[in-house]
Amino acid sequence: MTAFRALALVAAAAVLLPAQQLKFNLDYLAAKASDSVDLSLNGATLQFAARFLSSKDADESKVKKMIASLDGIYIRTFEFKDTGGWSPADLEGVRQQLRGAEWSRIVGVKSGQEGENAEIYVRSENKKIDGVAILVSGPKELTIVNIVGPVDLDSLASLGGHLGIPKVEIAKHK
C-alpha cells in the first residue's frame, strides 16, 4: 500500500511538474543583479496567451504561430552593474545537464574582445527537435533560455527587426 502511494505521488508529481527540460535555480543571483527577468511559461500559459495574440498584428501573429506547438518557455536573465556578479560555477550546473545524450551543441561562440560566450543546444528525441537551450554569458550578463517543443531557430531569428528588436545587419562576404 505504501509502495502504491509512493508510486501515485511520483505519478502525480510528474503530471504537475512543468515541462521544463533544464533546471536552473539561480534565484540567489537576483539579489546581486541590477536587472533580472524570470519567466516560466508552461504550455497551458502559452496556449492561454495565444488567445490574446492578434492574428492581424504581424508580430503577434508570428509569435502566435510559433507558440502553437510549444510546451513551455523558461528564461532567466541577469544583468550586473559590475563584473564578477556571477561565477562559472553558476553556469556549470546547467551545462552539466546539457551533457546528456539527448542534447547536442550546435553553436558555440566565444568573443575574446567582449568576453562573451554564447551557446545553442538542441534537444532531440526520435530525430525530432523537441527543445532548445541558449546560454549567453558576459562579464556583466547571464542569460539562460529553454524553449520546450519543436523550435524553428530561423523563425526565432527572423523576429529580428520585429518586436522592437533591432535587426543586426552584417555585411556579407565579398
Partner 1 sequence: MDWLEQELKNGLARKEPPPGFADRVLRRVGHRAQSPVWRHSRWLAAAAAVVMITGGAAWREHQGHVAKEQVMLAFRIAAVKVNQIQAHIQEATR
Nearest in space to 41 (alpha carbons), one of 145, 136, 121: 145
CA-to-CA distance for 109 and 82, rounded, in angstroms?
22
Around 64, how many Cα atoms within 13 Å sit in the side-chain half-sphere? Answer: 14
Count how many residues are written for the chain: 174
- Binding to partner 1 by residue 171, rule CB under 8 A? yes
CB within 8 Å of 37: residues ≥ 6 apart: 75, 76, 77
Q: Which of 81, 141, 89, 93 is nearest to 116 (CA)?
A: 141
Question: Taking contact as CB under 8 A, which single stretch among the options 1-9, 14-22, 96-104, 112-120 is the one that binds partner 1?
Answer: 112-120
Stretch that binds partner 1, among 15-23, 86-94, 95-103, 151-159 (CB under 8 A): 151-159
Per-position x/- string for 53-92, each x denoting binding to partner 1 as judged by CB under 8 A, each - no binding? x-----xx--x--xx-----x-x-x---------------
Give the binding site for partner 1 (CB under 8 A): 37, 39, 41, 45-46, 48-53, 59-60, 63, 66-67, 73, 75, 77, 107, 109, 111, 116, 118, 120, 134, 136, 143, 145, 147, 153, 156-157, 159-160, 162-165, 167-168, 170-171, 173
